[in-house]
Structures are given as C-alpha cells and as structure tokens.
Chain A
Amino acid sequence: MNFLLEALSSTFNPVVLAMLLFGVVVGLLVGALPGIGGVFAMALLLPLVDGFDISAVLGLLIGLTSVTTTSDTMPAVLIGVPGSAAAIATVEDGHPLARQGEGDRALGAAYSASLLGGLIGAFALALAIPVLRPLVLSLRTPDFLAVSVFGLLFVAVVAGRQPLKGLLAALVGLLLSIVGVDPLQGVQRFTFGNSYFWDGLSFTIVFVGLYGLVELADLLRRGRITETRFQSSLPAVLRGVRDTLREWRLVVASSLSGTFLGAVPGIGVTTIDWVAYGIAARDRKGGPEYGKGNIRGVIAPESANNAKEGGNLIPTLAIGLPGSIGMIFVLTVLSEHGIVPGPKMLTEHLPLVYSIVFFIAIANVLGTGICLLMTRQIAGLAAAPVALLVPVALALIVLGAYTTHLRPEDLLLLLLFGALGLLMKANGWSRAAFALGFLLGPNIERYYFLSAQLNGWAFLSRPAVIVVLCIVAGLIVRLALQGRLRPGALVFAPDTAGDRMLLALFAGLGALAFISALGFSGGSDMFPRIVASLLALVALPSILRAFGTPLRVGGGAAAVGAAKLLGFVGLLSGLVFMVGHLVAVPAFIFAASLLLDRTRWRAGLVTAAMSTAVIYLLFDELQHVSWPTPLITLAIPG
C-alpha cells in the first residue's frame, strides 16, 4: 500500500494541486470556446512549465484534458453550437431542452454525468492497471472493424421514426467520408484534382455547418433561445443532477463503453459519443422523443466522453501508444523525465500511475464544481438578445471554419453543409445518422482492408466479428418478420419540396460517385461503389413514388430564417476576403445587430469591439494565424 500513500502525498502537494487547478480552469475555458481545442492549449502551455516536477506537469495536462469535454456542453446546449467535436451528440437533445426553457436542467445533468463518467473512467483505469497490457494487446484489427460496424448499426436507433431517411442520410455520410486520399493506395477519390480535398472534408466544418448554422437559423426565426420565459434556478440545475442519478444504469453503461472505446487507439471521441447516444436511444420508454429534448440523450454522451480520458490513458501507460492526440503530450512529458511507458509503469512508477488516476478524479470534481457554481450565470446566456448573440456566434463559426485551411473552399463548404443541415432538419432527416456514417466510414473501410490483408477471410472467425454478424443477421430477421423489408415498406412518400430536393441530391450524388469510382484503381473503388450503389438503389423507389404524391406546402418562416442566416455567412465571408477579419468582424457584428434590432446600437457597438478584441487575442496572438492578404490591399497601388 506504500505506493498509494506515495501517490496521495505527491498528488496533494500544493504546487501540484495549483497546477491541476490551473489546468482545469484553462481546460474549461478552451472547452467553452468553439474552435479552440485542448490540444492547442496543451501545446501552448507545455513549454511554459519546463523545469517543473513531473507530477505538477502531468497534473496540468490531465487537469486540462479531463474537463474540456465538461465545459464544451455550454455552447452546445445553450445555442446549439458544439464547443468541441465531443459535444456534437449533446446538441441533439441538449439544445432542444434549452429551447424549452430547461437549459439549466440540461447543464446540471450534463455536468453531473461528466463527473460520474470521469470518475468511472478513472476507477476503470485503476482497476485495469494490472491487466492493462494483455488487455490492449489481445485486440486485433478485425475487432476494431467489428466495433466500427457495431457503431454503424445505431443508425437504426437514431433515425427514429424515419428509418429510410436515416439509412439514406447514413449512406450519404459514408459517401462523403470517402473524399480525400484513400488509406490503402493513396489514390485521390472525389478530389476533383483540387488539393483542398486531399485531407478529406473537415469534421469541424461539416458539423459546425450541419448543427451550428442550423440552430442559429432557428434562433433567428424564433428571436429568442427559449420558447418559454427563461428562469434560471438552482432547483432546475439540481433537477438535472437528479436526472443523472436516476439514470445511473445509463451512466455506468455509457461510461464503460467510453472507457473501453477510449482505450482503442484510432476510435475518436465523436464515435464514442454517438455509440453512447445509441445506447441511450435504444430505450424508447418514457420522456420526449430523442432529438427533441430527451435528457438521456444528454447524459449518455457526456458520461462517455469524460470516461474516455481514463480509457485513453490505458494504452498510453501500458504500451506507450497515445490513446488520443492529447496523450502524445503526456508521453512527451514522461519521456522527457526519463520514464518509459510500458511494463515498468506497473513496477517502478506505480505511484505515478495512481497519481494520474487521482488527477483525473480531482479534475472532474473541480471542473464539475466550477461549472455547477457558474451554471446560473452561464445559463443566463440563454436570456441574451439574439440580435447580439447570433452575429458574435457567426463570427466565431465563420473564422473558426476559415482557419481550418485558410482557403475559400472552407467557407463554401460551411455554407453548403449549413444549407444541407437546414434542409435535413426542416424535413425530418436524421443528422445523427449522417454523423455516424461520416465518422465511421473511414474506419470501416480501412479496418476491412487491413483485416483482409493481414488475415484473409479468417478475420471473419474472430469472436467480435461473429457477434456483430449475428446481431446484423438478427436485425434482418426481425425486420423481415415485422414485414419491414417488403418492397412496399422500403419506400417513403416525399411530400415536401425539401424531401424531393434531398432525394434528388442524394441519388445524384450516388450516381455521380459510382461513375467517378470507375476510374479508381487497385481496390480503392470497392467501398465507394458499394456505398454509391446502395444510395442510388435505396433512393430510387422513393423518387419514383414522388410522382404520385401530392406536394405539401409550408415552412415559409423557416426558409426566411435560413435565407437570412446563409446571407449573413456569405456577407461575413465576403467581407473577410475583401477587407480582412479585423475590419470585417466589427463591421459585420455592428451591422448585423442593427439589422436585427435597431434599438440596441450602443450594445452592438460595444459587442463588436469586445468580440474583435477576443478574436484578435485567440486567432492572431495565441494561434498566430497566417491570414491571406485582403483583396483591398492588393487593389491599392504600392
């Protein structure tokens, strides 16, 4: 037990605790600001703590990385813009709750779920320490394939009452995930000879467009965040906490899945979130529909994404393989102090390993405590005037997207995915299903080819693969018995102009992709051809059905909100190109706030100035973004 005492003594050293607290505060801040990642903050802070004791530096890093997924919930719930990729799933139900005036309840549930998830992750890490190495090394590539396919099965769950639309959305997600250099041959697929697409479509841009812009358009239409009068109260926050405690089984299941998947290098936090969301959505008893404010849809991903930190540390400490990008910094610190991750961690450095476990636990308690204390103030954001909130959020979104590659295509894609998201939401197409396809597609293709190269067809005999195949077979049999695989059941009646546009767009994409894929070589054509064929096949019967279906008219108000928002994005993008971001941002925020509410011009002026200062600090001073030269300076002679 000496190692535990040693770990406790090193953890509760005042310097170490101060560094841990500092890490937690920074982690909460970067989590709450869309576009600023924890990895960036780590890279920025690490050189500053050179020379500190290893426990203090690890305290800082673990403190920072453990809580970014706690505070990223704030913008996700309140304005529907995820603070980081880890909060995308939380938007699905968290934001509808805020709109119903239950933002503080959603935040209370999210924070407490994050706390419990973090603690379970830390506990799992502590328990797993003696069996870490064999556990991680027992997995094989076909097992990762099985996990990815299993994740994709949740499309059936998140699609809700529109299974066919969900399937189509997932297939489009899969198809768009193929864009870029293929993982096997290095062949460029759907890049149109443009190097912009080599890295594939940016997750940030796709999801900010699909979720962030859509929610802001909705906000513009409604004119306020909450549909009822907003009353922030401690009892409401505590109600959220009670929701979490009542759903303890879901918390445990989501946390364990988060820890397990977090231990597998290559499985990202977004996948972990959606798998947890799928676990929650399997239970349809009671509560509102998923996607419309079901508190379980908040609790599950929040538990899972905090638990994954413990999981990430398992391969990091056991065999020196970083479980996530953030863990690379942990490995760097360890190696700079002469510590070799691997078997020796369990002998020579056991106190340090348990200190790390304590760091995760303390960071989660501190992070949640700070968030809960601030919830009333933070939830007060929901009462902020839309005329100020939307322009500021748009400025952050547009610049965040633009800094992905600093190319015009960034903003064009943001607009396209914003428009796609608006159409999908207005017509009941599951964006969550699209997300699952988009996130899991690359893993499925890559792990399939790796499994086949390494094992031949023998990969099908791995237990995990057999289990997933049995689940798929079981699902098909069940659907067949329910009569849901009859030709007539595999069609829906597209009765809105939006449905028809999406169907035509998706079928067109499928056909185009199939033809383009004919030119791909060496096996890189297989996956795109299968997905494209399926997409065209599934879409075709419903397209034919459209001819006999009367058109339903409506949605004028939503269309106005959408047009206004996309217009704003286009205007701000144009201004950034023309005059540069430091002139474009204040001009846009002031003009947009005036346009939305003429009475608030003073507040608009102050907001514009303050936002520009914050943007300058974030993008220019901290990140040293290399902005392209504004067109206007090119036009000025000399």
Chain B
Amino acid sequence: MLKETITAMVLLLASNSVAAEFPSKVSIKIGNSMSSGTAAIARVIAEHLSGHLPGNPVVNIEAVEGARGVQLARQMATTEPKDGSVVAMTSMSVLHNFLIDPAGYDFSVADTVWLGAFANTIVYCVTARANPAALTDEGIIIGAANKASDFYRNGMMLKNLINPSAQLVSGFTNEVEIMAALERGEIQAYCGPTRSTYEREKRADIQQIVAGIGDPQALEARGVSDLFKDVDGLDRDVLEFSTFPTKWFYTMGLPAGTSPEIAEVYREALRSLNADVDFIAEFTARVPEYQFRPGDMLSEAIKIHLATDPAVIERARQITQ
C-alpha cells in the first residue's frame, strides 16, 4: 500500500513537470475513416479533451485506415512520437486478433501504452421478434462474421458456456448482413449489438434481446478463476450469461515507449471527463453506456479469451511476463 502511494505521488510530481512541456498540438488517431461512427465519437472527445490537458492544446482527429485497425496499431508500436502529441482511439479487436493469431504482426500490440476505455458496454445476443428462439434451443443457428470477428467471438462464448449444440455460421461480412439473415429467418440469433446501437437504430420492434455479455456490476466482483465455476449457476433465461468485461469500445492508447508520466497526464485528463457535464451529455447522446475507466487492456483481453481459447491465455501470459 505504501509502495503504491509513493509510486502515485512520484508519478503525480513527474506529471506536473511533464505538463509544463506538453505539446501544443495533439492528434487523436483513429483506425477507421473520417466518416465512421468512431470519428464522430472522436470529434466529441477532441472538442472536450483540450480543456483537460495541460496548456489546452489544439486537438485534431486523424484517420489511419487499413487492415482493420492494424495499420494504426503498427504506427503506435513503431513510428508515432512518444511526447504525448499522438493518442490513439481504437477497438480492442486488434489486441484480440493479435492474441489469437499473431501471424502478420511484425510488432507487438501489447507494447502500446493502454490508457482505458470510454464505453464499458454490454454486448447482447438478439433473436428475431417474429421468430423468437431461446439460446438454449437444440441446434440453434447463430450468425457471425469470420472467425477473427467480434461476432464470432461472442457467438463462441455463447456456444462454449451455454449451448454446445448451437451451430455457429460464419461468413457474413458485417452486422447488416447478419441482421438481414435474422430477419429472413435463416439464422435464429446473433451476438454483437450493443445496447446503444440497439436502441439508436430502434430495432426493438423486430428484434429482442435475449442475453447480454459482460454485465458490469457482476464482473467487478469476480476474478478470472471464478468465471468457469459460476457458469453452471447462471440463470440461462435471463440477460447475463457470462461475467466478462467488455471494455473494448473506444479504447485509448499511447505510442509504445511513452513515459509513465505522460500516460498519467492522459489518464487524469480522461478521468476528469467523467465529471464534465457537457461532454457526458454529448457523448451519451451517441453511446449511452458512457464511463471512462482506466484499465489494462491486455488483462481484459485475457479474461475475454478464457471462454474462447485457453491457449490464447498462455500466449498472453507469456507476453506479460
């Protein structure tokens, strides 16, 4: 405890000196296009972040598209400046895919200085309202994109934890196609929409939520080792069927090698957005589950992968050691 307090105080003092030399321009780099939903969220953050950073720097957004976020991840791991002038907002998929299949990565995503995530959201499984199904139904068909996608990972969690007889059908390109197949009755469920997209797109008249992954209230109380122990005790007809945190939306990170002092300045600025009423009003208009939580994304990823592939955990542990 004493050691932690001293470390925090040292970091605080150091971050004060960092504040004096903080860059006058900051770029929030996103792995999607400037016309994406991520860019819209980044604009809201950029508008408000300046007031919480030392010297109120000008904050811009830059798009670094390509390879599903890997292009940005590579730049963060290799070339981006480490002076605090660049911060990335990305999806945790990059980290997940790095853990699952590192082929093609000539750098380590784990080296990025992860700051935390903006939306600690729950991912839901839905079925068609016109053709309702229970997730425990024998042979239920769950739609998903390819095996490296979030949809597949979520579906696999459902299959591993609740219904081994479920059939996971991969090959859809995106959520639109999966939703269309659900409407047509070709699949009976899919796991992937967040509460916010579900509500924003007003799909409640044609779909119904049948399960949620990652209830934030439950997850904090449980450790990794408890996860499998509790599976049998889950009420399978109610929302949550697992306790995995999904802090993977609008995840923030700094280039590899950035000093802990600069990281602390950012964490403090991002944390202070939690008390910025104007910011929260604008943010929650787009993503209702707002709360910035500082966190180590690598350990979050390890927890998520427990349900999909224990071999991944071993790899993640090797990286952290």
A residues apposed to B, CB below 8 Å: 39-40, 42-44, 47, 137, 139-141, 181-186, 188, 191, 193-196, 198-199, 265-266, 315, 319-322, 331, 335, 338, 340-344, 404-407, 446, 449-450, 453-454, 623-626
8 A Cβ contacts from B100-144 to A: 101, 103-106, 141
Measured CA separation A39–B205 after assembly (Å): 28
Q: Does B230 contact A (CB under 8 A)?
A: no
Which chain A positions have C-beta within 8 A of B74? 195
A626 touches B146 (CB 8 A): no
Give 6 closest A-B pairs by Cβ, nearest first: A43-B35, A186-B148, A626-B62, A186-B147, A186-B146, A405-B66
Cβ-defined partner of A331 (8 Å) among B101, B149, B201: B201
With A194-B104, A454-B187 as given contacts, are A320 and B71 in contact (CB-CB < 8 Å)? no
Measured CA separation A186–B150 after assembly (Å): 12
CB distance from B154 to the nearest CB of A (A): 14
Task: Please name 20 pairs of A and B residues whose Cβ atoms are closer than 8 Å in the assembled complex, sorted by A.
Answer: A139-B184, A140-B184, A181-B68, A183-B146, A191-B104, A193-B106, A195-B105, A198-B67, A199-B66, A265-B176, A319-B183, A320-B201, A321-B179, A322-B176, A449-B171, A453-B167, A624-B61, A625-B62, A626-B29, A626-B64
A sample of 20 more A-B contacts (CB under 8 A), given A140-B184, A453-B169, A626-B64, is: A47-B43, A140-B186, A141-B181, A181-B68, A183-B171, A183-B173, A186-B101, A191-B104, A195-B67, A195-B105, A198-B104, A315-B180, A320-B203, A320-B206, A321-B176, A322-B176, A331-B201, A335-B200, A405-B65, A624-B34
Which chain A positions have C-beta within 8 A of B205? 340, 342-344
CB distance from A498 to the nearest CB of B (A): 33
Measured CA separation A405–B66 after assembly (Å): 6
Number of interface residues of B (CB under 8 A): 52
Which chain A positions have C-beta within 8 A of B187? 454
Which chain A positions have C-beta within 8 A of B35? 39-40, 42-44
Measured CA separation A187–B38 after assembly (Å): 26
A185 touches B147 (CB 8 A): yes
Cβ-defined partner of A265 (8 Å) among B43, B60, B62, B177: B177
Which chain B positions have C-beta within 8 A of A181? 68, 146, 148
With A186-B146, A193-B104 as given contacts, are A624 and B67 in contact (CB-CB < 8 Å)? no
CB distance from B64 to the nearest CB of A (A): 6
Measured CA separation A52–B57 after assembly (Å): 32
Q: Does B12 contact A (CB under 8 A)?
A: no
CB distance from A180 to the nearest CB of B (A): 9
Q: Please name the residue on chain B nearest to A453 by beta carbon.
A: B169
Q: Please name the residue on chain A nearest to B64 by beta carbon.
A: A626
Cβ-defined partner of B173 (8 Å) among A198, A266, A343: A266
B66 touches A184 (CB 8 A): no
B170 touches A184 (CB 8 A): yes
Which chain A positions have C-beta within 8 A of B200? 335
Measured CA separation A406–B67 after assembly (Å): 12
Q: Does B172 contact A (CB under 8 A)?
A: yes
Measured CA separation A299–B74 after assembly (Å): 46
Which chain B positions have C-beta within 8 A of A454? 141, 169, 181, 186-187
CB distance from A562 to the nearest CB of B (A): 29
Q: Please name the residue on chain B nearest to A133 by beta carbon.
A: B183
With A183-B171, A266-B173 as given contacts, are A319 and B62 in contact (CB-CB < 8 Å)? no
Measured CA separation A395–B177 after assembly (Å): 37
A186 touches B149 (CB 8 A): yes
Chain A CB within 10 A, most for which of B34, B105, B200 = B34
CB distance from A423 to the nearest CB of B (A): 28
Measured CA separation A409–B115 after assembly (Å): 31
Cβ-defined partner of A342 (8 Å) among B64, B172, B206: B206
CB distance from B58 to the nearest CB of A (A): 13
Q: Does B39 contact A (CB under 8 A)?
A: yes
Measured CA separation A141–B203 after assembly (Å): 22
CB distance from A334 to the nearest CB of B (A): 9
A446 touches B176 (CB 8 A): no
A407 touches B180 (CB 8 A): no
A195 touches B71 (CB 8 A): yes
Q: Please name the residue on chain B nearest to A40 by beta carbon.
A: B35
With A40-B34, A185-B147, A195-B104 as given contacts, are A446 and B62 in contact (CB-CB < 8 Å)? no
Measured CA separation A185–B100 after assembly (Å): 12
Measured CA separation A182–B173 after assembly (Å): 10
A626 touches B63 (CB 8 A): yes
Measured CA separation A331–B179 after assembly (Å): 15
Which chain B positions have C-beta within 8 A of A450? 169, 171-172
Measured CA separation A145–B222 after assembly (Å): 46
A198 touches B70 (CB 8 A): yes
Measured CA separation A282–B233 after assembly (Å): 65
Which chain A positions have C-beta within 8 A of B152? 186
Which chain A positions have C-beta within 8 A of B67? 195-196, 198-199, 405
Cβ-defined partner of A405 (8 Å) among B34, B61, B71: B71
Q: Does B229 contact A (CB under 8 A)?
A: no
CB distance from A141 to the nearest CB of B (A): 6
Q: Please name the residue on chain A nearest to B167 by beta carbon.
A: A453
A624 touches B62 (CB 8 A): yes
B177 touches A266 (CB 8 A): yes
Which chain B positions have C-beta within 8 A of A196? 66-67, 71
B146 touches A182 (CB 8 A): yes
Q: Please name the residue on chain B nearest to A344 by beta carbon.
A: B205
Q: Please name the residue on chain A nearest to B29 by beta carbon.
A: A626
Which chain B positions have C-beta within 8 A of A44? 35
CB distance from B179 to the nearest CB of A (A): 6
Measured CA separation A188–B173 after assembly (Å): 15
8 A Cβ contacts from B67-81 to A: 67-68, 70-71, 74
8 A Cβ contacts from B248-288 to A: none
Cβ-defined partner of B201 (8 Å) among A42, A191, A198, A335: A335
Measured CA separation A44–B129 after assembly (Å): 36
Q: Does B202 contact A (CB under 8 A)?
A: yes
Measured CA separation A44–B141 after assembly (Å): 39
Which chain A positions have C-beta within 8 A of B203? 320
Q: Does B27 contact A (CB under 8 A)?
A: yes
CB distance from A186 to the nearest CB of B (A): 3
Measured CA separation A81–B177 after assembly (Å): 32
With A319-B206, A406-B64, A407-B71 as given contacts, are A265 and B180 in contact (CB-CB < 8 Å)? yes
Measured CA separation A406–B74 after assembly (Å): 13
Which chain A positions have C-beta within 8 A of B105? 195
Which chain B positions have C-beta within 8 A of A42? 35
Measured CA separation A312–B29 after assembly (Å): 32
Q: Please name the residue on chain A nearest to B145 by beta carbon.
A: A183
CB distance from B97 to the nearest CB of A (A): 8
Measured CA separation A338–B180 after assembly (Å): 22
CB distance from A325 to the nearest CB of B (A): 9
Measured CA separation A449–B147 after assembly (Å): 14
A321 touches B180 (CB 8 A): yes
Which chain A positions have C-beta within 8 A of B33? 40
Measured CA separation A405–B202 after assembly (Å): 34
Which chain A positions have C-beta within 8 A of B62? 624-626
CB distance from A24 to the nearest CB of B (A): 20
A335 touches B173 (CB 8 A): no
CB distance from B219 to the nearest CB of A (A): 27
A623 touches B104 (CB 8 A): no
B39 touches A43 (CB 8 A): yes
Which chain B positions have C-beta within 8 A of A193? 103-104, 106
Measured CA separation A184–B172 after assembly (Å): 8
B171 touches A624 (CB 8 A): no
Which chain B positions have C-beta within 8 A of A321? 176, 179-180, 183
Which chain B positions have C-beta within 8 A of A315? 180
Which chain B positions have C-beta within 8 A of A199? 66-68
Measured CA separation A191–B172 after assembly (Å): 21
Chain A CB within 10 A, most for which of B33, B43, B66, B171 = B171
Measured CA separation A342–B104 after assembly (Å): 42
CB distance from A550 to the nearest CB of B (A): 47
Which chain A positions have C-beta within 8 A of B70? 195, 198
Which chain B positions have C-beta within 8 A of A40? 33-35
Measured CA separation A343–B34 after assembly (Å): 33
B171 touches A407 (CB 8 A): no
